[in-house]
Structure 1
C-alpha cells in the first residue's frame, strides 16, 4: 500500500451514520474483545467516529480533521478504517464526483459476548492475541455459565402467541430490514463440490449441510488452512446421532484435527497489508521514492516539525498549511512539497504571499501528487526564484531592496529538485545546495525508522 493516496485523500469528505445509543457495555466489548485484534489505532478511530456521530448536527468533515485529531497519517487512517471494516465494526460507502469523493462511515455495534465467542475466527483470533488465561477470564466475566440440565425449556414460539391478521403494510417498511450483524466473510472460494464428492448421502446427508453449517465449515477451513478433503474428515467427526452438524461439534472436531495433524499451537491471523508492506520494504527503493512516500502520507504539521529538527511550528504556519488543504483542497503530498520547497529556499521561513503565489500556480496546474509537484518545481525553479526576490523586495525597505538586487545571496535548493541525469552547466554548485539527504537521515533517525520512510 505504498500509493495510499489513490485510496484516500486528506481532502476527501465523510459523514457518519451511527446506531442509536451505543452503550457502556459495547465500549467494554470494543476495548476488551476487539482492540486486541485490531490494535489501538482502529479502536481510536472507532471511538472518534462514535463521538463525532453523536453530534447529529454535524455536517461533512474532511479526513484531514481525522489526521489531526488522531495524530495519524492518511495511510494510518486508511489502514485503521479497513481493519474496522474487516472485523465488522464499520461499513463504508463511497460516492465519486468529478473533482472529489465523499464517504459515509456506518458505525456498527460490536457483537454480543456470546456471539463473539461462538464465532470460530474471532474467538481463536482473540485467544492467539491474549493467551489462554486472559481468554478464560473474559469468557467467565461476560458469559457466566448457567446449569440447565435439570430444566426443560418452555419458551413459547412466535406462532404460539400471535396469529396473522390481514392488513396492508407499506412496501418500504417491508424492505427496511436490519442489517445482518457481524463481519463480512465470503466463502465462495471454498470448494463445496469437492467436499460433497467424498461424502456419500448415506454417510453425511445433504440436509446436514445447512447454510449455518456451510458458513462454519468455510470459516474453519480458512482459520486452520484445511483443504476440502481434510474438511471431509472434520465433517464426519462432527456428525451427531441425529445426522446433523451442530456448530459446536464442528468447531471441536476442527480443533482436534488441527492439533493431531498440524500443530498443537493455536493458529494466528495476520493483516494482509502488513505482509505487502514488509515485502515492499524488502525491495530496494530509491531515496526519491522513499521521500515521495513520506510526503504523500505524512500530515503537514509533522513535515514542518521534521524540517525544523523536531521543533513545534508556529500556529501561523500550521494555519497556512490547513488553509491550503481544507479551503483550497490541495492534496497533502502537494502541500508537503510546497512547504518543504519554500522553507528550504527561504532560510527556513514561510512567507505567506510567496507560498500562496506558488500554491495558486499549482492549483491551476491541477497537481495531484507529490511527484508532479516536484517535477513542476524543478521545471519552474527560475520563475519561483524570481517570485521569491519580488516578495522580498516588497517586504524590505528601499535600502534593503537595492542590496538584495545587487548582492543578495544565492538561494538554496534541495538536491532532489534537480534531475539526476541533467547535464546543464547552469545547475547550482553543490556548495550552495542544501544537503537534503543528510537532513532526511536526521528526520529518519528521529522517527526511529532506520532509513526507511513509511
Structure 2
C-alpha cells in the first residue's frame, strides 16, 4: 500500500476522543464478533486508541502508535481504514502551519442483537469463522429474558413506589439540570453499514416472491432474508427468476426452510451460469490511455464504462479473469463483498472500473484486500463518484507513468582536452640547424661511451 505514505506520515499528530461510552462488554463484542472481520492489526489499534483517550487533549505523533504496535506505516493505515469501514472510528483531519493532525473519534461496537440483525455484518462474520463457530457465537450472545406465564407473576416495584420526588421540582427543573439534559442529549448514530437501496432499485421483490409461491419456503421467511437476498442480487447480478431458482435449490427438504449458507455456496460455485459472456457485455481489451491531459474519453474507455454499467461486480470480474485465462478466487469474492458493504461508491460500475484497473492495468494476478482498499481510498479522496471520473484516475496513472523523469544531477562543465602537436595527425618534426659546437659535443659524448664499453 504505497498510497499509505501519501495519506499518513509518522510525524503527523493525532488525538483521540470518544463518541460513545465504552464498557468491558463492548470489549467482549469487539473480541468475538468484530475481530474476525477486522483482523488482529485493526483490533490492536482500536484497543490502543481506547487507552489514549486520557491524553486526548495533547497531540502525539503517529510514530508513537508505530512504536507501541511494532508495525510499519502501511499496516497502521490499513488497520485504520478497516476500523472506519466497520463504523468503529471516524477520522477528521486538520492542516495548519504546525503540520497535520488527525482526530480519531471512537464509537462503540454494535450490541449483539443489532450485529446479528445486520445482514452485511452477519455475512462477513459467517464467511470469516464458518457455520459452526457462527452458531456458537450466536448462542453465546443470545439473551434469555423471562416470559411471564400463568404460574409466573412479576412482583417488581416501580420507581415511584420506592423513591419520592418533589412534584413541583419536576414541573420546574433547575437550570443546571436543563443544561445537563442538553449536553447529554443522545444523537442518533448512523456510522454502521446499511444496505444501499440504490443498488437494489431494479429488483422487483413482489415478483420474486411470486415465483416461489409453489415452493415450500414461506413469504414470511423470505421477508426475514430480505436484505441478504438483495445483497446476493447486487453482488452477483441475479435477476428475480435466477435468484428464485437458486432459492428453490437451497431449501432443506427435511425442515422446509431456506438454507441460506447453502444458497451462498451454490451461487458462488456457479460463476459461469451466473455470468454468461456475450458480445455486448464482453469486457474490452485494455488499451493504454493517451498521456495527454484531455478530459475526453477514448472509444475504448467509453466501451469499458458501458460494460461496467451492465454487469454486477462478481460477473464483471469473472469475465475479466476468464479472458486472461484465470478464475475468481473465494478471497476475491470476499474483497468485492466487503467493498460493497462499505457503500463507499454509490455506483457499482466504479467497482468494476477498479477491478479492471487492478487486473488489466496494474497487471496484478488477483484482487487483494489491502491493495483494493488503498486504491478505493485514493479515489474517494479525489472525489470519484462516477465511472467516468474513475477512468480519469486510470488515465492519470498512465500520465504519471509516461512522464519522463527529470535529471536532477547538475550539469558539469565540459572540459576540452588540447592535444599536443606531436599527437595530431600529419605531424612532422621541425628540422633544426646543428652548429659545429653542438656536433663536437655529441662526438665527445659518443667517444666517452665507447671507452666505457671497451673497459668492461
TM range (shorter): 0.3 to 0.5
RCO higher in 1 or 2 (8 Å CA, sep ≥ 6)?
A: 1
In the superposition, the TM-score normalised over structure 1's length comes to 0.45
In the superposition, the TM-score normalised over structure 2's length comes to 0.45
